[in-house]
Amino acid sequence: MRALDLKLVRDLRHIWIQSLAIALVLACGVMVLILSSGTQRSLSETREAYYERNRFADVFASLTRAPRSLLDDIARIDGVARVEGRVVFTAMVNLEGMTEPASARVISLPQTGRAILNVPEVRQGRLPEPGHAGEVAISEPFAQANGLEPGDRFRAVLNGRLKQLVVTGLVLSPEYIYTIGAGAMMPDDRHFGLIWMGESAAAAATDLEGAFNDLSLTLSRGADERPVIAAIDRILAPYGGTGAFGRDRQASNVFIDGELKQLGAMATVLPPIFLIVSAFLVNMVLGRLVALDRAQIGLFKAVGYPTRAIAVHYLKMTIGIGIAGVAIGWLSGWWLGHELTKIYADFFRFPWLIYRPGAGSLVISGVLGIGCVVLGALRAVLSTVRLAPTVAMQPPAPPVFQRGWLDGVSLALRLRQTTMMILRSIVRWPGRAAVTLFGVSGSVAVLVASFFTFDAIDIIMLEIFEHANRQDATLTLTSAVNARAEQDALALPGVLSAEGIFAVPVRLINGTRSRLVSLQGRPPEARLAVLLDEKGETVAMPSSGIVLAEGLADWLDVGAGDPLRVEVLSPPRETWDIPVSAVIRQSLGQDAFIDRDAFFRLARQAPQVNMIHLAIDRNALTELEARVQETPAIAGFTLWTNVQKEFETTLNESLVTMTIIFAALGMLITIGVVYNAARIQLAERAHELASLRVLGFRRGEVGYVLVAEQMLLTLIAIPAGWLGGYALCALMAQGFSTEVVSIPLVVTQRTYAAAALIVIFTALTSALLVRRRLDRIDIVSALKQKE
């Protein structure tokens, strides 16, 4: 066995570059698996630890007004462990040096000064002291975006009254890990924040002394939340309850669940490509090595080495390459996973980070990685070591070639002899060509999938900010008012047109499926906020029936024409059976829509609005913002250029980095495949290529035989890679779509072209690196080799 081990070291030294290329491709698959699954696990554990330590509630509910004595009735519901009632409302904020309006969600703290549930995590300073009406704590992201520190003062409009507040501390909350203001689509820490103040001050500002309008509770261990939610809805219905919901519908938690789902999809879709390619590369390289060692294998068996020992010798080499690849993948995946988890922790505003990828992902990736390379080596090893010693010590019978259709076509096209050599090599050794085709097509597929994210984001941005939402600004009102408010909005400075929206919480029910959503009543002739069909074209609001976003319709398992039960959770608090009139595309969110006039006919009420979309003259924006801050009826002002800017900034921070990483991984596949194929071709055809030099062919012509074959295979593989890339994009679109974001399956010609050009450049560079070795071949030594 010592002789075989020494031979193993010499063989690895001889093919160390090919082995490194295989190990790096394998490491990519292991790295992606560790990166995605480790980040998913770490993010999930960080969230759960944060929830547990800060007593994040299990069930939430909003209402109009209820006496605090009602909390005792809710606490007696079977399955309820803790209950907390709060005062929550929205206020406009005036910050020094900031002309545009900002808003904040105000949350009350108990008289004791300490929250029972959803406990704020103090990051700097302290919480407000009980009885100090002017003291508040604010969310840390809002403070950082606006340069606020403990001790600073600012003004806020609390229920129409301007108050001066002093900041006592900066905090984070498990309830608002992902903070979005009313009417916004992405976090905007500069224009929207959170304010915690004493209960007495919050109640006085909203005329809710001795009452509450927001409820949180935790469940006993093992309790079922469904009967608890049903009981809460019954108790809160007379007090304006808008429907209780669990963590699965809590806005902040929904966004995090979506990210966890996307990380799981990444761990499922991408690693198999790298693992399969590495198996093919091992088969190609080891097959060549075993073929060269055929005589030595026969000699080893003749002197008494058992077949098993020889097979283990070659498998040791394979396992060594696998261990190297897995180790590199573990280290790079661990490091990148830690960095990605830090990005997520900052983005979602976790106060700390728990990074524990877990032994499971390490074990699974290690077993899969080594298993793939061993499977790739088995066929090459077993086909030779099973030969009898006398047969193995003899060279294999040379292949017999005959003129075929290729020769006839080549003569007809008058191809050069060097081109004929390339075509014959591909046709006569189809297995080797197939490995190269598969690997290069896999690289193209990975690149197409990497750049597809930009195509999808471009479509989402186009739909959200140009096609579906054409308004310049949106006003969120403190309460629903008469639809004549549209005319009042037209009187504001610079307002060119106004469209009122009435959004109401409803529960949509189809059999056993139900979903708590916002039903938007839109005017029949809306021009600012419109609906889009599956093709992205504008569609008119149907005069009857309900319109559902595609993701919501899929969840409820309904389509156009199907009946749907609509439980309205605000006055008139009725249940209607309404048919689904249309299913539309909605890239962000899952809402339901109805004709505003039709809604109020069903409700037997005069039309109202609680949100107004505006088209404005940008020259009058400063004056409009000043007027908005002075209007008590306005709770929030959303400028859509700010929304778009935040959207683009957030996506660019994450997408660009991830795309660069996966594009590099795709290029690495091409390098590993083409470089190994060219090295093997050079080794196998050294005699033939040296003969061409003796016959008078120039170096460029001989190099053409080596390089052009790899480039021809690359060009043939590109269309197959495009098809594979489209299939991979379909899997990504399905896996990455969440309740919040629907990823459209759109791959542009730009993406296909970019993937093809990168692969062609990478393949050419790899082939030219091997081409340099051709110039250093000793022609005399090469001619002595047996073909």
Q: 298 CB contacts (<8 Å, ≥6 apart)?
A: 387, 389, 390, 391, 392, 393, 394
Q: 295-299, 524-528, 695-699: which has the minimum mean pLDDT?
A: 695-699
What rounded mean pLDDT belongs to the chain? 85
Structure tokens at 322: 């696998």
Q: 446 CB contacts (<8 Å, ≥6 apart)?
A: 270, 273, 662, 665, 666, 669, 725, 728
Strands, DSSP E only, in 189-336? 192-198, 211-219, 245-246
d(CA 328, CA 20): 11
d(CA 488, CA 495): 10
Confidence of residue 72 (pLDDT cuts 50, 70, 90): very high
Confidence of residue 432 (pLDDT cuts 50, 70, 90): confident
Instruction: Centre a 10 Å sphere on the Cβ of residue 751 and count the other Cβ atoms it contains.
Output: 23
Do the strands 563-568 and 592-595 form a parallel or antiparallel pair, or are they unpaired? unpaired
d(CA 592, CA 521): 9
Q: 540 CB contacts (<8 Å, ≥6 apart)?
A: 524, 531
d(CA 40, CA 267): 9
pTM over 0.75: yes
Confidence of residue 454 (pLDDT cuts 50, 70, 90): confident
Q: Which residue has the higher pLDDT, 644 or 402?
A: 644
| Among 461, 475, 450, CA closest to 588 | 461
Cβ contact 566:581 at 8 Å: no
DSSP 536-566: S-EEPPPSSSEEEEHHHHHHHT--TT-EEEE
* Torsion of the alpha carbons at 29, 35, 41 and 44, rounded to the nearest 10: -140
- Average pLDDT, stretch 527-552? 86
- Residue 75 pLDDT greater than 60, yes or no: yes
- Average pLDDT, stretch 703-708? 78
d(CA 381, CA 363): 26
The pLDDT > 90 percentage for the chain reads: 34
- Average pLDDT, stretch 145-149? 92
Q: Is 106 left (phi over 0), alpha (psi -120 to 50) or beta?
A: beta
DSSP 320-348: HHHHHHHHHHHHHHHHHHHHHHHHHHHHT
Cβ contact 127:171 at 8 Å: yes
Strands, DSSP E only, in 587-649? 592-595, 608-616, 634-639
**Beta-bridge partners for 576:** 566
What is the reported pLDDT for 410?
64
> pLDDT for 747-767, tens place per residue?
999 999 999 999 999 888 888
Confidence of residue 7 (pLDDT cuts 50, 70, 90): confident
Do the strands 161-172 and 102-109 form a parallel or antiparallel pair, or are they unpaired? unpaired
